[in-house]
Structure 1
């Protein structure tokens, strides 16, 4: 997949707020993807994070003052405004949102925004009551009417102790959002393609407090959803219980059990072009769920559970007689990876299967790295070890190529 951020010039504006601490990681994440980053700090932001930190991370001087004689000798604010391919304000306080809305130019950041023709996005970050205030909502509505992109906010517990909307999106969510805006139609080949992805584990209850599950963080499935959405796909993510934020532009359906995931998958599959089964679905569930907690007693040295098979989701999707999607499975194996993957590909009638060796603790479950080999009935594609984000991008591109090939034949 083309790296959309490679060589892009991102001007990051940081306004005053506790979320400014996340902006350091945001700079790093943008740089990781090949972007060139320059930073403007408002005076209030400099109370939360230092220019030296951001200069070290960005590799460029940090702009702070509109009236810096050295910079303005060369019309620094105009130079910055012309330099940027994209301007992102993160965090965007209620104050800076109001000043942008009313076209003010009383500091370096707002002046650069007025003087630039680059796309502009803001990531609101403030107390939940400030965010809900009619003035803030009116300002945001005005910015939206001017085609300015609003990223977020998230909801949850805030630094002040309040709970509600107003938390800045996480750095990786912001990176995904920037990619979504910058991706030109030619870089979004999956426009109009409907993709359903399952991710995470399932939990099969034993009693009200215990369950059977699989090791899975959901990171690979979520990375695939992010990559597909960045390429323009209409993505539905069916997720087991994980601690991950929903990728930007993705519709998420939360489930707990394998049977719930099966029902949602079959509902979505008939309206999907591509179905990717990345979830670590429990193969078995308890035959009889205990209505009360099973007590451990002195004369009870063991516990026998009768298990029954769960529905095979990926095989059921692949067996659809009408409106069958291009079906991609995953095989997490600890031995004979290629042999077992090929068997699964044939037995379940899949178009592709993505196999990885989870016996290596540095790869697969809960790690940031993975390595996958993809098998079709006629070919093999090795995608070497890399971050799950990079691997997902390569894998989505490969799946789309094979999907297109299948359609032609």
Structure 2
């Protein structure tokens, strides 16, 4: 192995190990600035997260190496099948953007990258969750990064943002000897040897092609030639603007939420309390003494714990202190449901379309807290969604 190839791979392996550590520490869950940094890097260099940081991408690489050590023969996806399967992850991305339906939750349980991230975060997995992880890891011993290539919607998102990047891998056609070693090592099955620039949405900037090239400076990272910049940037901006408008209109999220809307990351930390003034007079809190009351409900991934502040027989604040639902979906429900409860002074408010489980869990938790506080006007929320386990009444906490 050439020294250049060794150096690039050692650096990448080190970064990948740090990526797993960072995920375990919760940097991408608890610190929004990390998502801003990731977006900036993606806009400049492309989806380096996929090639250098993603924990499940790293795990697939580990199993690919293990398969090599065990003598398992590697196969390249046939061209016809590749053309059929490559669009899958973009189709899945559009489904999650355009479809606001609760069955999307079921689809997310089949995401091995999300399940592995949840596992690193200390969350228990279902048998299905473990199964999909092992299926893709076993496939990684035969095919390079099968999940990244054909199913990862996060990779599809980052690939879309990466079309804006001014820096890319450039091939010097004059010095290229046509050995196609770059094609052979590319884990995303890109035909590097046939293009002057690697601009594919599939590219994860792993630099394997650069490391494998036998001719000095034939493949290198550089700025897009000036004559191509304007056209590519205009087209990329138009495409990303369209996606952002659609995503914002359907899911009420920003462009940043689209990037950081990791369907797999649980919103398990405490959420900023929603505070407001009632517009409906006395309601569910009628007759309840001032204080803070705790209650629980059942969300999609288990128990949701809420604290309800009552003052002058009014619900004045609702805070979620414990929650394991996926952040993307929970956040859609949280502000709307809690604000409406305070406004109407009743837990019997409409659920948020596409976030029914989280909505019901919050409503149930608020009702539980008020019932446990001795409320006579509040009605228990019947959470009859097809999910095992229901919320339990909480205990009163004064402050």
TM over 0.5: no
Answer 1 or 2: higher relative contact order, Cα 8 Å, separation at least 6.
2
User: If the length of structure 1 is used for normalisation, what is the TM-score?
Assistant: 0.29
Q: Which structure shows the bigger proportion of residues in helix conformation?
A: 2
